[in-house]
Structure 1
Amino acid sequence: MELKSSAKISLYVLLLALAAIWLFPVLWIIISSFKTNNDLYSFPPRFWPETITFQHFIDAFEKGNFGRYFLNSAIVTISSTLLLLLINSMAGFALAKYKFKGATVLLVGFLSTLMIPLEVIMIPIFKVLSFLGMFNSLLALIIPPAATPTGVFLIRQYLLSVPDELLEAARIDGASEWRIYTQIILPVCKPILAVLAIFSFMWRWDDFLWPLIGISDPSLYTIQLALSNFIGEYNVDWGSLLAMSVITMIPVLVVFIIFQRQFVSGMVTSGMK
């Protein structure tokens, strides 16, 4: 028993040390955003500032028009996430519970796209969006990631655990396929939908490369593109950049805290089938 207790204590100490190493850069960014310029550029670097200031946050909002950029990012992130949950849940439901020719081939085709990096398909996506008149609009950021092979696969794997007899009983009672989807499938899928919601929110909120390609109008910039405005050719406004970087962490952290219980449950269950 003593050996087991010592092993547990050693494991916890190791995990705490690894967590501290991982969190240190994040903590440094947060603390640095409240430093004065003298503390920020001091050498040797000071971990804790002599004077705490909110001036970097004030300057960033005054110079950067970040209210508009936050709104753009919120519209893109929320709309894309809702579309992703709708489309992926429908596709996962069909692949898990409907028997039709080519279902396996279709699933393999979905999964094979995971091996294709975004850089390879950027030009085709750009041409399609330009042809449809979506270039330089928020739709160019909302539509392309509205369905992902990862989401389809996770939901399919999760729904394999749902008994087919449950759906058959609903059909015998006269329930339509749409009613089965909305009143049985979606409630059952809450944990895995929470997982996808968190992933999608993080992907869309932190995305930089595709908005850089799909948007040229500064008024439509997302928050990540706006952060690049603080990086000039010859200098970097580190104070404002750090302050806004801290602000951008908050929405993702809030979403994760809200869905953390479903996130853990969904991650554990989805890959077991």
Structure 2
Amino acid sequence: MATLSLDPPQLRLDETRPDPNRARRIIGRTILYVVLGIASVAIMLPFVWMIIASLKTNNQVFAVPIQWVPDPVVWSNYLDIWTKANMSTWLRNTLVLAVSVTFLQVLTGSFAAYGFAKTRFPGRDVLFLAYIGTIAVPWQAYMIPQFIIMSKLGLNNTLWAILALQAFGAFGVFLMKQYYESIPDELSEAARIDGLSEYGIWRRIVLPLSGPAIATLVLLTFVNTWNDYLGPLIYLRDPDIWTIQIGLKSLVSQYNAEYALIMTGSVLSVLPIAIIFLAGQRFFVQGIATSGMKG
């Protein structure tokens, strides 16, 4: 017959002993949060100033000391920018280029990455290293040969020149390949046994499992294409096919004293990028964190 023990439970000495590192961890974490908070404020301060400047008059934009609260608030700047500049055309052209280039890079990059990650062929690793090595070559080194090729093809002064040059990207192949390697090879092998083609494996198995990596590539490619200035400056000479970056530069030249109007155009050019980044930041972090893992 079991008997109940009325003795008080014995407490371990290590449970009652205070943790000497706990206070150190709390202090370290507090310092880290303070530093990150200061860094965040420093990074956001120029954007906040740009938004505030877009609501001022021209004389108040560069006034010293800085007037952080506009008085009066000039909301008409956001109406004048559409009448004094061809903003609708610039935004439309930039959106067409950004969406098209992003789609092409995701399509070509993910398909090429599948070949490097999930298939075996002679010279695969050497070819991949050579292809990735092109990232280290600055664009200025082959900018003139590209321009000559586009001129002979008759694509200069058209949006097709930008699409042809940016349809392929080594970084996208590298990013997608690293993520594909985290997907077990057993899935591909089982699909091959069932008679599925390599294209079918990529489209029906590998691609649906690569959502975070695709979202990361979409975000990075869209932002880079939207903010690209030098490429459109070289190939797009007709004002009707200018992008927002070239248009803002012409706005600086045309309205040299309209500082508030220039800041208004800058806000409109940054706003779509900020919305897209905020909407996809969770997938961006997840894709970056898992791209270097292997299953």
Q: Give the TM-score category using the shorter length.
A: over 0.9
Which secondary structure state, in structure 2, belongs to the residue aligned with residue 35 of structure 1? coil
Deviation of the 1:236 alpha carbon = 4.3
Q: Which residue type is aligned with residue 138 of structure 2?
A: P
Q: Which residue of 2 aligns with 1:156?
A: 177
Q: CA deviation at 1:7?
A: 2.0
- CA 1:95–1:236 in structure 2 vs 1: closer, same or farther (change >3 Å)? farther
- Give the aligned residue type for 2:190: A
Retained in 2: the 8 A contact 1:159–1:189?
yes
Task: Provide the residue aligned with 1:219 in structure 2.
Answer: 240
Q: 2:202 aligns with which of 177, 181, 188?
A: 181
How far has the Cα of 1:186 moved from its partner?
1.0
**Pairwise mapping of residues 32-71 of structure 1 onto structure 2 (< 5 A)?**
32-71=53-92
The C-alpha deviation readout for 1:127-165, integer Å capped at 9, x for no partner, is: 111122211111111221111111111111111111111
Distance in 2 (alpha carbons) for counterparts of 1:252 and 1:95:
31
Q: Which moved more, 1:140-149 or 1:35-44?
A: 35-44
Aligned counterpart in structure 2 of residue 132 of structure 1, from 148, 153, 159: 153
- Does residue 123 of the first structure (1) align with residue 144 of the second (2)? yes
Indicate if the aligned counterparts of 2:157 and 2:237 stay in contact, CA closer than 8 A: yes
Give the distance between the partners of 1:121 and 1:237, measured in 2 at CA. Answer: 37
What is the SS of the residue equivalent to 2:73?
coil
Name the aligned partner's letter for residue 56 of structure 1. N
**Paired position in structure 2 for 1:97:** 118
Partner of 2:26: 5
Over residues 211-231 of structure 1, what are the superposed CA-to-partner deviations in whole Å (9 max), with x where a residue is unaligned?
000111110000100001122
Deviations 1:48-107 (A, max 9, x none): 212111222222110111111111001000000000000000110000111111111111
> How far apart are the structure 1 equivalents of 2:212 and 2:163?
24
Instruction: Normalising by structure 1, report the TM-score.
Output: 0.95
- CA distance in structure 2 between the aligned counterparts of 1:121 and 1:48, rounded to whole angstroms: 48
Measure, in 2, the Cα distance between the counterparts of 1:11 and 1:45: 30
Conserved? CA contact 1:77–1:142, under 8 Å: no
Q: 2:279 aligns with which of 253, 258, 261?
A: 258
State which of 106, 123, 128 in structure 2 corresponds to 1:85.
106
1:238 corresponds to which letter in structure 2?
Y
1:45 CA displacement: 2.7
Query: 1:205 maps to what in 2?
Result: 226
CA contact (8 A) 2:56 2:72 kept: yes
Q: CA RMSD in A?
A: 1.5
Instruction: Indicate if the aligned counterparts of 1:230 and 1:238 stay in contact, CA closer than 8 A.
Output: no
CA contact (8 A) 2:98 2:226 kept: yes
Aligned equivalent of 1:165, options 171, 174, 186: 186
How far, CA to CA, are the matches of 1:126 and 1:54 in structure 2?
42
Give the total of aligned pairs: 273
Deviation string, structure 1 residues 175-199 (Cα, Å, up to 9, x no partner) = 2222211111111111111111111
The amino acid of 2:123's aligned partner reads G
Deviates more, 1:38-47 or 1:193-202: 38-47
Please say if residues 207 and 224 of structure 1, whose CA atoms lie closer than 8 Å, have aligned partners that are also in contact.
yes
User: What's the CA shift for 1:233?
Assistant: 8.0
Cα distance, 1:62–1:233 mapped onto 2, change above 3 Å: closer
Indicate the larger mover: 230-239 or 126-135: 230-239
Distance 1:38 1:250 in 2: 25
Unaligned runs of 5+ in 1: none
- Give the deviation of 1:5 after TM superposition: 1.9
How far is the alpha carbon of 1:43 from its aligned partner? Answer: 3.0
The partner residue of 2:259 within 238, 262, 265 is 238
Shift of residue 41 of structure 1? 4.0
Q: Percent identity?
A: 37
Query: Could you list the runs of 5+ residues in structure 2 that have no partner in the other structure?
Result: 1-21
- Distance apart, 1:40 and its partner CA: 1.8
CA contact (8 A) 1:230 1:236 kept: no
